[in-house]
Structure formats: C-alpha cells, structure tokens
Amino acid sequence: MTRLGPNRYGKAEVRVVSIARGTAPDGGDVIRDRCVSTSLSGDLAAAHRDGDNANVLATDTQKNVVNVLAKRLGDVEPEAFALALARHFVAGPITRARVAVDEYGWTRIGTHDHSFHRSGDLTRTTVVVLDADAGPSVVSGVEDLVVLNTTDSEFHGFPRDEYTTLAETHDRILATRVSARWRYRSAEVDWSGAFGLARRALLDAFAGTYSYSLQQTLYAMGAAIIEAVPDICEVRLALPNKHHFLVDLAPFGETNDNEVYYAADRPYGLIEGTVLADDASDPGLAWS
Amino acid sequence: MTRLGPNRYGKAEVRVVSIARGTAPDGGDVIRDRCVSTSLSGDLAAAHRDGDNANVLATDTQKNVVNVLAKRLGDVEPEAFALALARHFVAGPITRARVAVDEYGWTRIGTHDHSFHRSGDLTRTTVVVLDADAGPSVVSGVEDLVVLNTTDSEFHGFPRDEYTTLAETHDRILATRVSARWRYRSAEVDWSGAFGLARRALLDAFAGTYSYSLQQTLYAMGAAIIEAVPDICEVRLALPNKHHFLVDLAPFGETNDNEVYYAADRPYGLIEGTVLADDASDPGLAWS
Amino acid sequence: MTRLGPNRYGKAEVRVVSIARGTAPDGGDVIRDRCVSTSLSGDLAAAHRDGDNANVLATDTQKNVVNVLAKRLGDVEPEAFALALARHFVAGPITRARVAVDEYGWTRIGTHDHSFHRSGDLTRTTVVVLDADAGPSVVSGVEDLVVLNTTDSEFHGFPRDEYTTLAETHDRILATRVSARWRYRSAEVDWSGAFGLARRALLDAFAGTYSYSLQQTLYAMGAAIIEAVPDICEVRLALPNKHHFLVDLAPFGETNDNEVYYAADRPYGLIEGTVLADDASDPGLAWS
Amino acid sequence: MTRLGPNRYGKAEVRVVSIARGTAPDGGDVIRDRCVSTSLSGDLAAAHRDGDNANVLATDTQKNVVNVLAKRLGDVEPEAFALALARHFVAGPITRARVAVDEYGWTRIGTHDHSFHRSGDLTRTTVVVLDADAGPSVVSGVEDLVVLNTTDSEFHGFPRDEYTTLAETHDRILATRVSARWRYRSAEVDWSGAFGLARRALLDAFAGTYSYSLQQTLYAMGAAIIEAVPDICEVRLALPNKHHFLVDLAPFGETNDNEVYYAADRPYGLIEGTVLADDASDPGLAWS
C-alpha cells in the first residue's frame, strides 16, 4: 500500500577546523574553518522497511571520514575537499553522495602569525553531488553577504489595482542579504580563482547597476558572474529585499531628504531567480 | 550570452493575526496566528532584463491582499486561506502562485474567553502551488515538533570499515525534531480533520515503532499518515537525529544504567525520506 | 596601575537529560531535561595576574560534577539540583557559586510510557547563589511564556508633546513574552508546589487584569505571585510589548473591527519592574 | 502587602539607519546603522498601581525622538547620539534615562561612492545612563568579535580531584567571542579615537599574550585597554571559551599534530571579569 520514494541520510554540520602552520606566504598560519554535511543515497530500502542496517554506513562513520580527510588534505579549497569526500563515499550500495561545505573566513590580526579574528562578511559555500552513473557536479556560492546601495535605485511603473497602496519611488535604498549559488561546468576548475572572480563580479554588478527593481539587479549579478567566469554556466540567487523605509519626520517639523530610514525586519520582498549561460549544460542532479 | 531561467518573487513572512470573537464552541475567541509568504511567477522577463515593471505586482500589494483576505475569510483552515490567496494572484501575466502559511497554536488560559498562551508544541504548515495550466496542489505538515522515546530503540548491524568507531547499541534514546510535509490528492479536503488525523498518526507511529534505525521510524511515520488519511498520497520527512549520548560516569565510580545523557547539538544525523501511496498521483509542481 | 575587580568563571549550558524509568504515578518514565550553567568565584587573583591555575577548578570538572549529581539526585526539582551543585562547589578557595538551571518540559504521547513530545509552552528557570558567608539564595521563574489578551486592554492618558503621534486606544490586543523571576525567602521550600502556584497566579493575573498599561499588568502579575506564594518575597518581570497593530483596511473598502492585526517584531516596548512583599528580606547576592 | 521596586520602561531595538551623503573624506557616503533602545525611570508608581498614564511618555514617542535626533545629529559617534537622547528624555517626572546603541559597520565596495557591504566583524556598543541627580555615565564596547590564537596557549596546574578527568595541555587553540564593555571617566571624550585605541589594544593583547588560562588573557585585554586609553577606568569582559578539541585520529592510523580540531558549541567555559584602573572613579549607575 506504501512504497519508499527518494531518500538520503548523513551527518549534518560537522564543525571541523584545520590549521596549516606557517604555510601562508608570509610564514603565518592558515585556518580552514568548515561546517560539513554529508548525505548518502543508494540501496537503502531494507533499512527503511525492515530496520536492516547492512547498507547503512553510520553517520558517525561519515563524521570520522570528514575528520580524516581534513587531516590528509589540509589546506585545500572547499570544492576539492567536498569532491574528495564524495568520491570516498560512493562505493558498493552507496550510489550517490551529496557533500555541502560552508567555510568561514578569518583575518590575521596585525602582523601576528598565529592570531585571527573572524571576518564575518560572508560565508563561502559549496555543494558537490556525485552520482555513480551521472558523475560529479559542483555548485558554489556565498551566503550572509549583506549589501546596500544608498541611491541609484527606483521602483515605479508597477501595476496598480484596488489592492495597491505603495507609492512610486525614484530614489530609494536598495539592500539585500545575498544568497548566491553558481554551477560549474566541470569538476576541474581553479576553485580559488573562480571564487574570487565570482565574488568580485557579484559585488561590482550590485554596486554598478542603476536599478529599477531588485529583479533587474538580480539578473545583472547573475549575468556578471557568468561573464566573469567561463567555468560557470548557471547562477541562482535569492535576494530578500531588506526594506529601508523613509521615516516621516513631517509631524515633527523636519524634512527627510533621504537621510533617516527605518530598517524593517518582516515582511520582506523575496526575489528568486536563475541566470543561465546560453550554452549551459544540463544540470543533472546538481541542485538536488 | 545569458538568459533568464526559473524565477519567482513575492512577499515573505507577512505576520497576520486574525481574531474571531466569541466563535469558539464555548463562546470564547479564536486566534488564527499566521506567517504568510507569497511567490508569483509569470511573464517577468522584461522586469529582469530591462527593469520594466509593468507585470510586477508589487510585493507590497501582495501583502495587502493577504491582509484583506484575512479579513474576508476569517477563521478558516490555513489550506483554505492559501488556496484563496493563490486563486487571487493567478491572473493575466501571473501564471503561477506559491503560497506558504505557517500557523502557530494558542491555548486558552483556564476559562477566560479572551486570554491565551502560545502552545509552542509545533508549527502547522501548508504550501499551495496554483498553476494556470496544471491547477492547484496542496502540501501540509508540521515543523518544530520535538519527540523522544526513552527506550525501544537500537542501532546495530551497520557496516564496519576502517573509519568506523561507533559501538553498536541495543538500547538508546531516540529523539528528533520532526519536519513533515504531506501531499494531498486534491484541493477539496476536510483540512482540519485531515490535519488532526495526520498529526495523531505521526505521533503514534513514532511512539509505537520499536526502532532499529531512524530510517525505519521515518518510514513507519510516513506510512501511518498515508494509511490514516486517504486524502494524502505522499509524505516527506526530514528527521534530525538529536543524539543523546550516555555520559561515562565510570571515572567517578558511578554506574549509568541509561539514566544520564548528554544532549548534543552538532553534528547530528539527518534522515530524509519519502513515503508514497502505491497509487500516488504525479506530484507536478507540488514540491516546487 | 590596574587591579582585578569582580569576576567569576564556569561551565555554561551543560545539556544534561535524566531519565527516571517507570517512576511516574502511572508507571511511565519521567524526563528531566536541563541546561545547567555554573559560575565560581573566590581566590582567583593569581589566575588572572600570573596564569597560576592552582585554585582554578577546571570548567570541565564542573561539567563532570553536573553529570555526577544528575545521576545521584535523579528526579528532583531544579532548585534542589542547583542547591546541591552550589554546595558541592563552595569549598577551599572557591567562596561563592552561582548555578543556573533551565528546565524544558515534556508531555507524554497518549498512553505510551516511554514516548514524549516537547511541551514548548515555557522554560522553567532557577538561579541559586551560594556564598560561604552570606548563605544561599534561590530565584526561580519562567521564560518564553507568550501570552495574549484579545481585548480588555486600553492605553490613553499618556502625555502628548511635540514628538507624540500615537493615537489613544480603548481596545487593543495585549501580548507579551513573559520573563519572570521570583525570589524565595529561604532555601527550604516545596519547590514543585510553589512553582505551580506561581505559574498559575501569573497566568490568572494576566488574564484577569483589565489593563490600562502593560505596567499595570506587570504589577498585577508580580503582586499575584507574592500573594499566592508566601515563600516568595520579590518578583522581577521583563515584559516586551509584542505590538499587534490594527491593519488599515479602509483603502480596500473593508472595515476592521478589531479583527486583523499585524504582529510586529521590532521595535517593541519593554517594560521592566519589581514587585516586593512589604516585608521582603534583603536580597543580598540573589540577583548577582 | 506589596510595593513597587525598581522599574523602567522604553522602546527596544529601534532600527534607524542614517545616510550622510558625500561626507566621507573621498566624497563617498557615510552610513550610521544603529539599533537603539531607550529606558526611562521616574515617578511611575501611579502607572503601575492605578493604570494612570499621566507620567508615561509613550514608548512610541520615544521611538519618534530617536528618529528625529537621528535626523538632527546626523553622522555622530554613538556615544554622542546616546547622550543627546538621554538628555532629551530626563525632564519632569522622568528622572533617569538609559540609552543603548548598537552600531553595525559597513565597508565601501571598491571605489563606489554609494555601495557598501556589511563588515560583520564586530558590533560597536554604547550605553549611556543619565540620572537627574548623579549625572551621566558612558560605557562602550564591542560584541560579536570572534578571535582565535592557533597556539601560545596552555592550560595546566589546575587542581585535580575525584571529578577531574581533563588532561593538562601545553599547546591548544584559544578562541573566544569577545563581549567587552569599558567605562569612561567622563562624558567628554574623543569617542571615535578612544574606540579605535581600545579595539586595537584589545586585539593586540589577545594576540600578544602567551596564555596559561583564559582568565589571564582576559586580564591582559582589560589592562591593555586601560593603559591605552586614559579616559577609560574600568573594563568588563565576558569571554566564552570556544573550545576547539583535537580530534583523535589514532583509530584511523593518522597522527594529529595540532592540525584538525572539532569546534564545539556547548557546553563552553565562560570567563567573566573586571579590570579597574587603580584610580577608577565610583561607577554609580553606569552598569545598571
């Protein structure tokens, strides 16, 4: 009467911190601060149906593998780390692995070799899906990158019906917390270089686009990444519109010439969209 | 060189609270406390490409509609509310709407007609997707429902390789924070009755399943919902394994006969799976 | 040129879960789910000045003691648990201990002896301070208790100056997340009975007070606890005013007769106050 | 039978963002992004006892004042902003004001005049208490500043009793999320300069102290701030010990020469302490 559909299981949020001592160009230490989540799929019907764990590689074992590969691989890019993990796991009854890595940045304190403060400006992400048949896919991106333009943003020309009360605006703050993910064409990429270019393109497109809607800015950001990084063929963005409402100071005898804003929490606009290279490859399982 | 892929936009987390005064069976008030998120799709290429907002029903307008329908509909089930909103939005260039409603429960304080405390035991959820061509789909569920069995859970028989250190266990605590979503066969259902049955089936299956793995419990919970509610044909569950590790008290001269546990935060196992009725319909856009 | 002032150190947020098997009146299990934080003070100048740890009982050791006493004490009230911990720690160079316990409630699932769901309606708290000279103090309370009156709340008569825009209201929703702490007169109390009476008095006072301000409701809640529980001589409350603003539906041709509200997040009013029994004892270190 | 004790009320978390256009040294914009909380005390017994609001300056009015002064003051340091607000509020029946300001940093994107990303490395804080009789006090600080030393930290020589299992260590990671507050000797200070010096002293002390305990590092950080900024006479620090535990890789045939760590969430050590200048003034109400 019932049957098992798609499923996966794994260890989520393994917080593994690797120190590479003295390997920075100036002799300082390098920190790789990661949060790793693994998910495996395969021949797991008996586990669900009968409690037969013969094919269930324990999530505790998955965590151990994360730690061991952190040791063996050391100071590598998150994409390389995730690919190595996925390749380890796909074997025997496990036919697919999804490995997600969040990486937190650290900044050296002054000239101290061993001392850091957390950067806090963004989280770097990657998700690798490796399927025994379909091969690997790599999607990387950023989270928690909050950006703001103080001007050069308008919003008008939208339809007005009996439920519309919003005034048109020809000068507003545009702010968002960027959640961006970009899909690579292959698993053989200069990950560090590509990340740097994509991050730079994204920021420049946000700053440089005179915006008539957050949709337009979204498209500009996605297109800029694709144009800057030939290895990337698809970008997905989720941009909450962090509304900054002009405070009405007229009751107090003050003007407000775009000076004082109320930063609202909820509700917020949420703009989600995809930008593709014209010759983008089939995504396969990349977004699963 | 680039093109627009799938996209949607809307207003997220509209916190609307409706009071129906004196309509409870005993004459007390009824609270509908909701967090509503709307997302629209359609002919929006010009908005992304050219900043042309002619088809962009403003997210502020979407918020207004949520409030107006809260007034007009009053004390209805979240599924009915979401369906009405979706039907409102799909028109002209907007060809698809996704409406998500989270509903928070309140409990009357003693015999007071007007006084409540928040229940806090779970969040009730629903997501309606209405497509101009494909019609409606309804997925409901629960979030934040934390459950625990103090015994009747084992975990052994899993493969042991060179990365395995976990001991087998024949008596452990099993605890999880249930995230469950169930898909209805149609948009014509006794929503309140179905929710009550599904919730009860889920809890009873968790409590009543002697478990050899969280996968097995997941399957039992999904199957129980499908068996209890003929209107439901698919259940998706995400179950974090909230590990409770037995504390080693031997160094202190104490036994620990399954009495004292450390409730770990991270990492955690994460078990995700789908259970389908044998005759489940095609999901279409339901999970998008 | 500098000197050490007040200081303390300890282990925060030890998540210890105790199971008492079969000890409920009906033969079911009992869960004590606690988050324990310990803080010690004493002769610690050398630790701060010279890195001399001879008097620094390691925070890891403090955690071990929490676990061992959880085993030895079993199913006791949080106040008894905190007092026992504090008494353990105050010895030799450690002259003061502060022990805070948060306890989370669980509800049995149906008639299952071993199965529970987390209640979620409030967190029970206690803080014991034991000083070698001053003796013990006990402060207990609740957190995360969200309450709401749908009516019987007004707010008017407040001063109007050139910065005042708020309209007077004669019927509003009053909602708050109660943070309450009550100080006991001694460390010899029927903790479970007192907690039950205090919680009930607090809820009844919230529900039963026709309110002209949240300050008035605060005072009523504090006084009700003191009147209900002779062992309590002081209550401190922090009540965020969870504003529910009536949505203006006039632009849409709808009335809003106190039916549809927007539940705001920020900013919020915050009302903090103390209610004392006329013969309240000196608090000493109770609130430190 | 009951009486009113200490109390205060106000508007919490007013999120006000000010833009000063073109005033940066290079002609770019300046953002002041603030979260402001006000609390007033005074002759409020009638409000609590009788619901008489004649002296209750509405929290909504307080919010309006925050916005108006944000306009009038523009690009000023948070201490100056908080002092001006407090001075506004203390009048008539309101005899004391506490104003807390959290300020979030923004970094310009490249050479764009109007574009920013949120810095994310710390939150700058200030609390002003102004009492009609006692005058003003100013306490400033930082929150959310996460720092880490990869080495030069030991922990040993602590007492061992029957509850001690922790091994001594001669090389560990030391990491903490700094919560620091420093008290100024007066309300006439170069706030920006003092903040810069204090932040720098704090970071340098963390990085430059060979540590035998987090207590020792705490003292060094507090003393460094006092020595660097003559206007500061007291520092209070709360330092969670963000434990990084060396992962045992021996079961997998790997060494772990301080390379791979598990970053634990809970429990954590929590070290709190005060460092005072020898000639520190009386704090009065500064910490209330």
Residue A15 in contact with residue A34, Cβ under 8 Å?
Answer: yes
Distance CA B282, CA B279 (A): 9
Q: Judge if C159 and C240 occupy the same domain.
A: yes
Q: Judge if C109 and C124 occupy the same domain.
A: yes
- Measure A155 CA to nearest chain D CA, in Å: 18
Looking at residue D78, the DSSP 8-state letter turns out to be H
Please list every residue in chain B whose beta carbon sits closer than 8 Å to the beta carbon of residue D251.
Answer: 165
Q: Judge if C118 and C198 occupy the same domain.
A: no
**Span A204-239, pLDDT tens digits:** 999 999 999 999 999 999 999 999 999 999 999 999
Contact criterion met (CB < 8 Å) for B215 and A15: no
Q: Where would I find the beta strands (DSSP E) of chain D?
A: 2-12, 14-20, 30-42, 94-108, 115-131, 135-149, 174-184, 232-241, 244-246, 260-263, 268-277
- Measure C254 CA to nearest chain B CA, in Å: 8
Say what the pLDDT of residue C50 is.
94
Query: Which pairing describes strands D174-184 and A260-263: parallel, antiparallel, or unpaired?
Result: unpaired
Number of inter-chain CB pairs under 8 A, C vs D: 250
Q: Judge if B215 and B186 occupy the same domain.
A: yes
Q: Judge if C163 and C148 occupy the same domain.
A: yes
Closest CA to D49 of C212, C178, C208: C212
Whether the upstream peptide bond of residue B267 has omega within 30° of 0, thus cis, is yes
Contact criterion met (CB < 8 Å) for C11 and D65: no
Q: Judge if D176 and D288 occupy the same domain.
A: yes
Number of inter-chain CB pairs under 8 A, A vs D: 196
Interface of A with C (CB under 8 A): 162-163, 165, 251-253, 265-266
**Span D225-234, pLDDT tens digits:** 999 999 999 9
Contact criterion met (CB < 8 Å) for B112 and C207: yes
Distance CA A284, CA A127 (A): 14
Distance CA D183, CA D179 (A): 14
Angle of CA points A55, A87, D261, to nearest 5°: 90
Please list every residue in chain D whose beta carbon sits closer than 8 Å to the beta carbon of residue C7.
Answer: 215, 271-274
How many CA within 13 A on the CB side of residue B119? Answer: 17
Number of inter-chain CB pairs under 8 A, B vs C: 195
Say what the pLDDT of residue C120 is.
95
Distance CA A59, CA B165 (A): 11
Mean pLDDT of chain C: 98
Q: Judge if B213 and B279 occupy the same domain.
A: yes
Closest CA to C287 of C137, C134, C99, C180: C137
D19 pLDDT band (50/70/90 cuts)?
very high
Contact criterion met (CB < 8 Å) for A48 and B218: yes
- Measure B280 CA to nearest chain C CA, in Å: 30
Say what the pLDDT of residue A134 is.
97
User: Which of A29, A259, A262, A266 to probe the D interface (max D CBs under 10 A)?
Assistant: A259
Q: Judge if B148 and B242 occupy the same domain.
A: yes
Kindly list the partner chains of chain D, i.e. chains with 3 or more CB atom pairs below 8 Å.
A, B, C
Query: Of the candidates B132, B159, B186, which is a domain's last residue?
Result: B132
Distance CA D137, CA D285 (A): 7
Q: Which two three-digit tokens encode residue D55?
A: 């002296």
A27 pLDDT band (50/70/90 cuts)?
very high
Rg over alpha carbons for chain C, rounded to the nearest Å, is 23
Q: Which two three-digit tokens encode residue B268?
A: 């955690």
Please list every residue in chain A whose beta carbon sits closer than 8 Å to the beta carbon of residue C265.
Answer: 265-266
The count of structural domains within chain B is 2
Please list every residue in chain A whose beta carbon sits closer than 8 Å to the beta carbon of residue C266.
Answer: 265
Contacts of range A104-109, beta carbons closer than 8 Å, 24 or more positions apart: A104/A33, A104/A34, A104/A35, A105/A33, A106/A31, A106/A33, A106/D148, A107/D121, A108/A24, A108/A28, A109/D147, A109/D203, A109/D204, A109/D206, A109/D207
**Span A140-179, pLDDT tens digits:** 999 999 999 999 999 999 999 999 999 999 999 999 999 9
Q: Where would I find the beta strands (DSSP E) of chain B?
A: 2-12, 14-20, 30-42, 94-108, 115-131, 135-149, 174-184, 232-241, 244-246, 260-263, 268-277
Query: Of the candidates A107, A132, A157, which is a domain's last residue?
Result: A132
Whether the upstream peptide bond of residue A267 has omega within 30° of 0, thus cis, is yes
Say what the pLDDT of residue D260 is.
98
φ, ψ (nearest 5 deg) of residue C233: -120, -5
Residue D87 in contact with residue D64, Cβ under 8 Å?
Answer: no
Contact criterion met (CB < 8 Å) for A67 and D149: no
ipTM over 0.95: yes
Q: Judge if A120 and A226 occupy the same domain.
A: no
D220 pLDDT band (50/70/90 cuts)?
very high
Looking at chain C, which residue has its C-alpha nearest residue B110?
Answer: C204
Asked whether residue C207 is domain-assigned, the answer is yes
Mean pLDDT of chain D: 98
Instruction: List beta partners, residue C145.
Output: C178
Looking at residue B284, the DSSP 8-state letter turns out to be T
Q: Judge if C21 and C121 occupy the same domain.
A: yes
- Measure C111 CA to nearest chain D CA, in Å: 34
Q: Judge if C128 and C139 occupy the same domain.
A: no
Active site residues of C: 11, 59, 243
Per DSSP, helices labelled H in chain D are 45-50, 59-73, 78-89, 191-208, 214-228
Asked whether residue C1 is domain-assigned, the answer is no
CATH number for the domain including D113? Answer: 3.10.270.10
Contact criterion met (CB < 8 Å) for D29 and A109: no
Closest by Cβ to A265, choosing from C163, C251, C266: C266
User: Which of A2, A3, A214, A287 to probe the B interface (max B CBs under 10 A)?
Assistant: A2
Say what the pLDDT of residue D90 is.
98
**Span D132-150, pLDDT tens digits:** 999 999 999 999 999 999 9
Distance CA C77, CA D237 (A): 33
Residue C237 in contact with residue C178, Cβ under 8 Å?
Answer: yes
Q: Which two three-digit tokens encode residue A213?
A: 């809607």
User: Which of D1, D2, D213, D245 to probe the C interface (max C CBs under 10 A)?
Assistant: D2
Closest CA to C232 of C200, C206, C194, C288: C194
Please list every residue in chain B whose beta carbon sits closer than 8 Å to the beta carbon of residue C259.
Answer: 18-21, 71, 74
**E strand or H helix at B76:** none
A53 pLDDT band (50/70/90 cuts)?
very high
Residue A86 in contact with residue A135, Cβ under 8 Å?
Answer: no
What number of other Cβ atoms are within 10 A of residue D116's Cβ?
A: 24
Looking at residue C251, the DSSP 8-state letter turns out to be G
How far is CA D38 from each of CA B140, B141, C3, C269, rounded to the nearest angstrom?
42, 41, 32, 9
The domain containing residue B190 runs over which residues?
134-288
User: Which of A161, A265, A268 to probe the C interface (max C CBs under 10 A)?
Assistant: A265
Q: Judge if D147 and D85 occupy the same domain.
A: no
Residue B128 in contact with residue B138, Cβ under 8 Å?
Answer: yes
Say what the pLDDT of residue B111 is.
94
Query: Of the candidates D133, D161, D191, which is a domain's last residue?
Result: D133
**Span C183-227, pLDDT tens digits:** 999 999 999 999 999 999 999 999 999 999 999 999 999 999 999
D169 pLDDT band (50/70/90 cuts)?
very high
Distance CA D279, CA D126 (A): 22
What number of other Cβ atoms are within 10 A of residue D260's Cβ?
A: 25
Closest CA to C50 of D212, B38, D125: D212
Please list every residue in chain D whose beta carbon sits closer than 8 Å to the beta carbon of residue B265.
Answer: 265-266
Mean pLDDT of chain B: 98
Q: Which two three-digit tokens encode residue D185?
A: 């000797």
**Span A72-114, pLDDT tens digits:** 999 999 999 999 999 999 999 999 999 999 999 999 999 999 9
Instruction: List beta partners, residue D261.
Output: A17, D246
Distance CA D48, CA D5 (A): 11
Say what the pLDDT of residue C111 is.
94
Q: Where would I find the beta strands (DSSP E) of C159-267?
A: 174-184, 232-241, 244-246, 260-263
How far is CA D182 from each of CA A86, A173, A205, B91, D142, rounded to the nearest angstrom?
49, 34, 41, 59, 9
